[in-house]
């Protein structure tokens, strides 16, 4: 065995030879044809499954994750066919002796072969991206999760090649080399399949050894340093074992024992490196919604904690959902040292469960020194909401005005109800209740919400509203076109005048939605605001996407009012509301108003009579449907409503990006029958066919040359 540092020049010379030997052989293209056929079949069947059963779900979670998980199996079956020839073939043909006579170290030989074979495996993986490119042409999607998926597959490929290379040095029979590689990789996969089989003591250890457990994060769009280190350790050990195997040709027999002992030592050292990486793991979340990262809103709340909080997750041992529960607790606990957390088994802790009234698996108890709340399941907004509720000194009341046919926070109806909004506000630490203005606004109400309405407001009610605002009242008005003209007039006198029109924006309407639906976003000057600036602009400045309004009216602003949302540049407003709703309207230069048009605004003004409240505040949104159970989860509808109420309540320090719960109308994929047929032909016929044709052409060319 020759000991010297690898020379880039020698390695690249040998690498060229290896690349030529790999890419100029029909074998790669035959294997590639099989690989692409299997991968194409999985692509098409996973796509079909997603289209059929995954409607309304996120394209990434349902399709890409499934596809990447399936591709790892295809890799497992095909990479050994590439590695089997690396040393076994040379040994059988006797060319390995010739190779060893070159002025090359074993490490240089190994590096060249490893890189060439990995390049071949990655080329096969890259070919599968053609199918995804076709999908991207139909419906663009975020690159982050696709990148992590392919990175994970590439790391799997390197690991498979390293294992296969080592096993190829042990035999001169290519079939034995291939089968032993498949067997070893399968074993590394199935190590953690059956929890009961290996026994309790070894289960955790074996699970961490399992190669595919370390691929899961990549398939979800997340890169974790512990997984990178694992794959690095695996490749390093396989390389060390390969070098030992290659070097054994020149050994005396006495070298065997120290080599085995040394390799065991290396294995232990790499195992500890892996354990250290697990302990000091860093996560990079490349999912579009940062699904596996705590939202800025949650971080802001947790960073402001002033008292200790304990989180206890009550789970059932062996439940696969336990990992995500523990993961959420870890993420929450990392933000503040005041948060302690643990995961316990309900059945093994009956006294603790009964003390907190836990009667279901998966519940999380959020406890302070003297209070606690039980959260039904491990969702970020629920856990953080419970922390907020327990640690707030007083709960502010959001009162929904009734008596004029307004929408009701107790109504669960999908079209008209506001229960989803009310539930979210309670999670944010507010008390929510319906109020009437008989006798004035109740004293304990912090924010008043007027959600539409069909009956007129009396002068007396408006006077009561006046009186309340004089005392530093806070009002959120959600008004569709034609609703509450008396209240609209009252708002106009306070600087925000809802106009009697409807805004149309064909360029920004929801695809497949109503003709009068629009997507509105913050004006440029608001979007540029810093969240820390003391302005009502924080309500919309940090929204990650637009707000979906079903039937919006424009707002005319006086001095002091701040625009929060506006329609697109191509929008316009028309007073022909009935015709607009039936879709029978064109832009009229004479009577219509050209956009962009403000559809949400805020204003505050100082009041003298309220020592505890320096200013009265009003937010007006020219649509009420965005708050209904049907529309609240669309785009940024929920965040804008929560932010508006939080700002009105004087708690703007808590406004920040929230976790996105659903992305209806986004990340969707709809294929026509023709597009599906094209996807099938591309994935299962064209790509494998091209690879097999290349194999045939190479074969004929080599025969002709010979």
Q: Which residues bind another protein (CB under 8 A)?
A: 195-196, 200, 203, 244, 247, 255, 258-259, 261-266, 268-269, 272-273, 275-276, 279, 314-315, 317-318, 322, 326, 340, 342-355, 358-361
Neighbouring C-beta atoms of residue 213, cutoff 10 Å: 17
At closest approach, how far in Å is the CB of 340 from another protein?
7
Q: Which of 278, 362, 277 is nearest to 312 (CA)?
A: 362
At closest approach, how far in Å is the CB of 355 from another protein?
7
At closest approach, how far in Å is the CB of 363 from another protein?
9
Q: Which residues contact 548 (CB under 8 A, 6 or more apart)?
A: 510, 513, 517, 518, 519, 626, 631, 634, 635, 637, 665
310 or 651, CB closer to another protein?
310
345 or 486, CB closer to another protein?
345
359 or 413, CB closer to another protein?
359
Q: Which residues in 425-539 belong to E strands, given as ranges?
A: 431-435, 445-451, 474-478, 496-498, 502-504, 518-520
At closest approach, how far in Å is the CB of 110 from another protein?
15
**CA separation for the pair 28, 22 (Å, rounded):** 7
At closest approach, how far in Å is the CB of 323 from another protein?
10
CA distance to 219, 375, 416, per residue, from 659 (Å): 21, 17, 25
At closest approach, how far in Å is the CB of 160 from another protein?
25
151 or 263, CB closer to another protein?
263
212: phi then psi, degrees, rounded to nearest 5? -80, -25
Burial 293-310 (b: 16+ CB within 10 A, else e): bbbbbbbbbbeebeeebe
DSSP 3-state percent helix, strand, coil across the chain (nearest 5): 50, 15, 35
206 or 555, CB closer to another protein?
206
At closest approach, how far in Å is the CB of 266 from another protein?
5
At closest approach, how far in Å is the CB of 33 from another protein?
42
138 or 266, CB closer to another protein?
266
**CA separation for the pair 660, 544 (Å, rounded):** 9
Q: Which of 489, 594, 504 is nearest to 549 (CA)?
A: 504
At closest approach, how far in Å is the CB of 170 from another protein?
17
**CA separation for the pair 641, 656 (Å, rounded):** 13
308 or 515, CB closer to another protein?
308
User: Could you tell me the maximum CA-CA distance found in the chain, to the nearest angstrom?
Assistant: 106
350 or 578, CB closer to another protein?
350
How many CA atoms lie less than 13 Å away from 178 in the CB half-sphere? 14
Helix axes 8-23, 106-138, angle to 10 degrees: 60
Q: Which residues in 346-430 belong to E strands, given as ranges?
A: 363-367, 372-375, 397-401
The beta-carbon contacts of 577-582 under 8 Å, at least 24 apart in sequence, are: 577/481, 577/482, 577/500, 577/501, 577/502, 580/502, 580/504, 580/515, 580/516, 581/502, 581/514, 581/515, 581/516, 581/551
359 or 466, CB closer to another protein?
359
Sequence-ordered alpha helix ranges (H) in 456-535: 459-470, 485-492, 524-527
Q: Is 316 exposed, middle or buried (0-12, 13-18, 19+ CB in 10 A)?
A: middle
Give the SS3 label for residue 101.
helix
At closest approach, how far in Å is the CB of 100 from another protein?
19
194 or 672, CB closer to another protein?
194
At closest approach, how far in Å is the CB of 557 from another protein?
55
98 or 264, CB closer to another protein?
264
**CA separation for the pair 587, 111 (Å, rounded):** 68
Q: Is 172 exposed, middle or buried (0-12, 13-18, 19+ CB in 10 A)?
A: middle
172 or 310, CB closer to another protein?
310
At closest approach, how far in Å is the CB of 189 from another protein?
19
171 or 207, CB closer to another protein?
207
332 or 397, CB closer to another protein?
332
- Pairing verdict, β 445-451 and 496-498: unpaired
At closest approach, how far in Å is the CB of 326 from another protein?
7
At closest approach, how far in Å is the CB of 324 from another protein?
14
Q: Which residues in 542-662 belong to E strands, given as ranges?
A: 547-549, 555-557, 562-566, 572-574, 593-594, 598-606, 615-621
304 or 355, CB closer to another protein?
355
Q: Which of 471, 424, 449, 486 is nearest to 659 (CA)?
A: 424
Q: Which H/E stretch holds residue 224?
A: strand 222-224
DSSP secondary structure letter of residue 521: B
At closest approach, how far in Å is the CB of 199 from another protein?
9
Q: Which H/E stretch holds residue 8?
A: helix 8-23
446, 649 contact by CB (below 8 A): yes
């Amino acid at each position: 065995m020759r000991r010297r540092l690898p020379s880039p020049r020698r390695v690249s010379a040998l690498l060229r030879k290896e690349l030529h030997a790999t890419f100029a052989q029909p074998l790669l293209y035959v294997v590639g044809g099989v690989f692409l056929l299997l991968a194409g079949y999985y692509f098409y069947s996973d796509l079909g499954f997603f289209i059929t059963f995954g409607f309304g779900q996120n394209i990434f979670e349902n399709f890409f994750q499934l596809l990447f998980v399936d591709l790892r199996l295809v890799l497992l079956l095909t990479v050994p066919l590439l590695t089997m020839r690396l040393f076994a073939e040379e040994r059988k043909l006797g060319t390995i002796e010739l190779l060893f006579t070159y002025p090359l170290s074993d490490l240089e030989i190994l590096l060249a072969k490893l890189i060439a074979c990995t390049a071949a495996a990655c080329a096969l993986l890259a070919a599968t991206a053609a199918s995804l490119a076709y999908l991207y042409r139909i419906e663009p999607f975020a690159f982050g999760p696709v990148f992590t998926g392919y990175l994970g597959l590439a790391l799997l490929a390197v690991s498979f090649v390293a294992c296969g290379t080592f096993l190829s040095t042990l035999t001169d029979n290519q079939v034995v080399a291939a089968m032993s590689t498949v067997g070893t990789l399968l074993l590394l996969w199935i190590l953690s399949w059956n929890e009961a089989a290996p026994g309790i003591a070894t289960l955790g250890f074996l699970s961490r050894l399992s190669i595919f457990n370390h691929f899961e994060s990549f398939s979800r769009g997340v890169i974790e340093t512990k997984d990178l280190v694992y794959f690095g350790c695996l490749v390093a050990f396989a390389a060390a074992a390969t070098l030992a195997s290659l070097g054994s040709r020149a050994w005396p027999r006495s070298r065997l024992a120290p080599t085995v002992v040394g390799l065991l030592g290396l294995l232990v050292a790499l195992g500890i490196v892996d354990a250290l990486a697990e302990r000091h793991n860093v996560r990079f979340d490349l999912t579009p919604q940062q699904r596996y990262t705590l939202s800025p809103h949650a971080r802001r709340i947790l960073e402001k904690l002033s008292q200790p909080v304990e989180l206890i997750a009550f789970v059932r041992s062996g439940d696969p959902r336990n990992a995500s529960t523990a993961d959420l607790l870890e993420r929450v606990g990392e933000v503040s040292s005041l948060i302690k957390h643990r995961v316990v088994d309900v059945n093994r802790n009956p006294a603790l469960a009964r003390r907190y009234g836990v009667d279901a698996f998966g519940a999380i108890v959020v406890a302070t020194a003297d209070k606690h709340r039980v959260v039904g399941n491990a969702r970020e907004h629920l856990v953080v909401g419970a922390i907020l509720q327990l640690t707030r000194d007083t709960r502010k009341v959001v009162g929904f005005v009734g008596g004029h046919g307004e929408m009701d926070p107790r109504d669960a109806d999908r079209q008209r109800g506001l229960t989803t909004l009310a539930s979210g506000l309670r999670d944010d630490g507010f008390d929510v209740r319906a109020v009437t203005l008989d006798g004035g606004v109740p004293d304990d109400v912090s924010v008043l919400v007027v959600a539409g309405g069909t009956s007129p407001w009396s002068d007396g009610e408006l006077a009561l509203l006046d009186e309340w605002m004089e005392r530093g009242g806070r009002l959120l008005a959600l008004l569709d076109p034609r609703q509450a003209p008396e209240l609209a007039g009252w708002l106009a006198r306070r600087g925000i005048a809802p106009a009697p029109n409807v805004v149309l924006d064909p360029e920004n309407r929801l695809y497949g939605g109503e003709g009068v639906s629009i997507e509105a976003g913050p004006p440029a000057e608001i979007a540029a605001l810093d969240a820390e600036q003391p302005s009502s602009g924080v309500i919309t400045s940090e929204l990650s996407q637009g707000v979906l309004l079903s039937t919006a009216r424009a707002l005319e602003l006086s001095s002091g009012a701040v625009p929060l949302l506006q329609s697109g540049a191509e929008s316009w407003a028309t007073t022909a509301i009935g015709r607009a709703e039936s879709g029978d309207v064109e832009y009229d230069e004479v009577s219509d108003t050209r956009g962009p048009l403000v559809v949400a605004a805020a204003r505050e003004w100082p009041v003298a009579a309220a020592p505890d409240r320096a200013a009265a505040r009003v937010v007006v949104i020219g649509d009420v449907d965005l708050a209904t159970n049907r529309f609240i989860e669309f785009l940024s509808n929920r965040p804008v409503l929560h932010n508006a109420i939080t700002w009105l309540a004087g708690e703007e320090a808590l406004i920040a990006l929230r976790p996105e719960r659903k992305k209806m109308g986004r990340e969707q994929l709809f294929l026509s029958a023709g597009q599906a047929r094209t996807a099938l032909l591309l994935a299962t016929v064209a790509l494998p066919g091209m690879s097999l044709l290349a194999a045939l052409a190479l074969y004929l060319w080599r025969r002709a040359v010979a």
